[in-house]
Amino acid sequence: MSYTDILFVALFVGVCVLSRLLRRWPAIREWTIIAFSLLIVASWGLFSLALLLAVAAVNFAAAVAAAPAPQGRRRAILIGAIVFDLAALGFFKYGGFIAANADSIFDSKLSVPALGIPLAISFYTFHLISYLVDGVRRKIPPLPLRQYLFYLCFFPHLIAGPIVRTWQLPSQLGRVRLIGNDMLFGVHYFVLGFFLKAVVANNLAQSIDPYWVDGAAGLSAADRWVIAFLYYCQIYSDFAGYSLMALGMARLLGYRLPANFRAPMLAGTMQEFWRRWHITLSRWLRDYLYISMGGNRLGRQRAIFNILVTMLLGGLWHGAGWSFIAWGAMQGVGLAAERVLGLNRKPEGLLRRAPWWITTQLWITIAWVFFRAPDMAGALHFVGGMLRFDHWSAFDVQGGLILPLLIAGGAVLHHLSPLCIAKLPRRRLGLFLGTATGVLLMLDLVVLSPNKVFIYFKF
């Protein structure tokens, strides 16, 4: 059941009404939301539900057992639980990839059952590691069962984020919340996210997916750059759309989740890009991986090594394939180069900022090819065509790409909208957001949307 399905929207409205009626009884309200969250997972397959509950049970038991234990034993219990989580993630997500590469290199004849990737395993593994590491560091006490299950299974963030930290959501539980403006902003975020996903991302996917499969051979360099840019708009609209829907659904239920995107196409450096793109993931990688390896405390060379390792693992987290590793490597190389050259600080002034912005966005656009291409060979072939300037013509763009470029304008306008809102008088903000929400709602209802699963659901 996808969050853009009519059935889900109808069920969610019912849950919102029921949640409102149960506001005076927070415990019953939270158990109701937990049950609905598990129902969503079950709609994608009972195996995914069973694995989620099994992993959740192991980690809950480990946290409870570790709480009264001495420091050394507590650390061993929680590290053992983290190893279990990573082993489960590795088996289901990377088992086939490891076996295939081992067989090609060593002729090992390894075989892994084709079980598929269980729904949301990457995201709830990160949530559990955050919970356990914070337990090792004694930042939080063990959560009671209801708060623990709510934190882990809350359906807006369960499947594809945003990645919520243990101090962000449980503190909102167990009490009566005043709705205030949550209802208005919740509707706005949900409608806007639905528009980005259903109207922009789905129609872009419908238009450019064939080019990634078998249509790249006859493309000019200009065509390839346009397609890469369109995928940039597609994946932004898809994932930012999901994240906005998640924030909206949480607001409508009376909870707040952290923002996940902040106009990444405006980023003038790679460091700034990762402060604007998938913000909760970049913070997680920084706090639990980069800083744990020493961060920048051990000198420049070690900091560069830590950056490269962090981004390589970040790329591998997205998918079991060499093209994802290459994508992560490009992110790491870009961040490391900025650190070496002293370009990681945001330049002042439009004229100084423009060249850095162009270089950053071109590098990011090329990297998206490795993220989207079906395999490493396809990505290299596509990028090679992008860089063949003897086949370049500014006007040599296929007519079939004109309409997708117009559709991509929705993603571009969403990047520019905060700049416009910042110039509005505060008294007119409500009218502007209300009008924008109404227009987007009409587009959601009128514009035909092909049925496409959220991109990050498969991660």
* End residue of a domain, out of 134, 152, 172: 172
CA distance 34 to 149: 7
Compute φ and ψ for 289, nearest 5 degrees. -125, -65
Q: What is the pTM of this model?
A: 0.93
My answer on whether omega of the bond before 258 falls inside 30° of 0, hence cis, is: no
Tokens of 123: 């995201």
pLDDT-derived band at 113 (thresholds 50, 70, 90) equals low
Are residues 217 and 106 part of one domain? no
CA distance 259 to 266: 17
Are residues 37 and 12 part of one domain? yes
In a domain, 414, yes or no: yes
* End residue of a domain, out of 125, 147, 172: 172
Tokens of 280: 């909760």
Mean pLDDT calculated for residue range 203-213: 91
Tokens of 213: 């499969």
Mean pLDDT calculated for residue range 20-34: 93
Are residues 263 and 372 part of one domain? yes
Are residues 145 and 225 part of one domain? no
Number of CB atoms found within 10 A of residue 433's CB: 17
pLDDT over threshold 70, residue 114: no
CA distance 347 to 51: 48
Domain encompassing residue 47:
6-172
Tokens of 10: 């109808």
DSSP for 408-433 reads HHHHHHHHHHHHHHHTS-GGGHHHHH
pLDDT-derived band at 225 (thresholds 50, 70, 90) equals very high
Are residues 189 and 161 part of one domain? no
Are residues 126 and 52 part of one domain? yes
Are residues 141 and 208 part of one domain? no
In a domain, 22, yes or no: yes
In a domain, 330, yes or no: no
Q: How far is CA 301 from CA 289, 336, 343, 444, in A?
A: 17, 10, 16, 50
pLDDT mean across residues, the chain:
89
State the pLDDT at residue 353: 81
* End residue of a domain, out of 172, 192, 218: 172
Q: Give the number of domains in the chain.
A: 2
Q: Reply yes or no on whether 318 is catalytic.
A: yes
In a domain, 141, yes or no: yes
Are residues 202 and 167 part of one domain? no
In the numeric block, the tokens 């090819």 are attached to 369
In a domain, 326, yes or no: no
pLDDT-derived band at 335 (thresholds 50, 70, 90) equals very high
What is the Cα 205 distance to its own chain's centre? Answer: 18
Are residues 195 and 161 part of one domain? no
Are residues 203 and 71 part of one domain? no
In a domain, 308, yes or no: no
Tokens of 184: 């208005």
In a domain, 286, yes or no: no
Are residues 214 and 147 part of one domain? no
Tokens of 457: 């659901």
pLDDT over threshold 90, residue 388: no
Catalytic residue from among 318, 391, 414, 415 = 318
How buried is 31 (Cβ within 10 angstroms: 0-12 exposed, 13-18 middle, 19+ buried)?
middle
In a domain, 437, yes or no: yes
Best CA proximity match to 173, nearest among 192, 146, 199, 213: 146
Give percent of the chain with pLDDT exceeding 90. Answer: 58
Mean pLDDT calculated for residue range 172-195: 84
In the numeric block, the tokens 């004849």 are attached to 109
63-77, 95-109, 157-171: segment of lowest average pLDDT: 95-109
pLDDT-derived band at 390 (thresholds 50, 70, 90) equals low
Are residues 189 and 160 part of one domain? no
Mean pLDDT calculated for residue range 214-223: 77
